[in-house]
């Protein structure tokens, strides 16, 4: 009962902020399905524009073709195939600016890139990551999935969204000049066999899962996308305006 009251109070508070024009304005860009390199270049363009305060906080959502990204602290032993072998399998490989190890992206996975200004210092970055986790776990709750962000566990868990020891969403965020880029990857109906190309995030003792596997059926990708967008609006207190990629060229 108390929990329902708290939710009602929060929703009323957000509604009043929206009605009074107090919600922060932001941009939302849906890139559909796109190869990694094109989306990466676009992401860096928006990062520069956000640094220069030419645009407000902006959330990009995209579904990638098969690709593996290598973070700054990646251990090469966690890439189980050579770049040449990956090419034969139709999988791209890119070295990127985020922290962490190797990560796989591909069809059926919803990838989000929040290009947000982050408060200075670690005191700003940690709450930012927590809010990203909360946005995902809140969306999962709409589908009846009781997931947890890393910061909700009593014992130490790597950053991301989890069902026990199974990772549902990976998070790898870079912050430069106090603006974030890169982001999260949520397994909606991903082919989990593709993760056998790597040791995901270097975690040999843990595995990955997907919404499809947990629900026993493939969820609507568009419904998941809508849930994520609405959760970001609520948790980050941003009213998003939809923009197109060409609007920024």
The answer to whether residues 229 and 198 touch, using CB atoms and an 8 Å cutoff, is: no
Q: Which pairing describes strands 102-105 and 58-64: parallel, antiparallel, or unpaired?
A: unpaired
Terminal-residue alpha carbon distance, the chain: 50
CA distances from 72 to 81, 100, 101, 116, 247 (A): 19, 6, 7, 21, 31
**Rounded to whole angstroms, how far apart are CA atoms 164 and 62?**
27
The sign of the torsion formed by the CA atoms of 7, 11, 12, 16 equals positive
**Rounded to whole angstroms, how far apart are CA atoms 239 and 15?**
11
The answer to whether residues 74 and 101 touch, using CB atoms and an 8 Å cutoff, is: yes
> How many CB atoms within 10 Å of residue 176?
11
> Is 201 considered catalytic here?
yes
Catalytic residue among 201, 208, 211, 224: 201
The answer to whether residues 166 and 208 touch, using CB atoms and an 8 Å cutoff, is: yes
Name the helix (H) or strand (E) containing 112: strand 109-115
Catalogue the active-site residues: 201
């Amino acid at each position: 009962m108390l929990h329902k009251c708290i939710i009602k109070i929060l929703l009323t508070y957000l509604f009043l902020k929206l009605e009074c024009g107090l919600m922060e304005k932001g941009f939302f860009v849906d890139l559909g399905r796109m190869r990694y390199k094109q989306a990466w270049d676009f992401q860096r363009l928006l990062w520069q524009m956000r640094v220069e305060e030419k645009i407000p906080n902006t959330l990009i959502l995209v579904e990638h073709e098969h690709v593996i990204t290598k973070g700054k602290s990646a251990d090469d032993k966690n890439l189980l195939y050579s770049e040449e072998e990956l090419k034969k399998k139709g999988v791209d490989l890119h070295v990127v600016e985020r922290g962490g190890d190797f990560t796989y992206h591909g069809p059926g996975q919803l990838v989000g890139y929040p290009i947000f200004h982050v408060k200075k210092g670690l005191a700003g970055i940690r709450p930012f990551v927590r809010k990203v986790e909360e946005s995902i776990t809140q969306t999962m709750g709409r589908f009846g999935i009781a997931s947890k962000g890393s910061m909700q566990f009593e014992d130490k868990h790597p950053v991301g969204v989890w069902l026990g020891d199974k990772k549902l969403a990976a998070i790898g965020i870079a912050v430069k000049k106090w603006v974030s880029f890169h982001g999260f990857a949520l397994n909606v109906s991903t082919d989990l066999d593709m993760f056998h190309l790597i040791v995901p995030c270097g975690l040999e003792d843990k595995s990955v899962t997907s919404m499809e596997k947990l629900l026993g059926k493939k969820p609507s990708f568009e419904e998941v996308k809508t849930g994520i967008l609405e959760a970001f609006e609520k948790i980050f207190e941003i009213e998003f305006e939809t923009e197109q990629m060409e609007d920024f060229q």
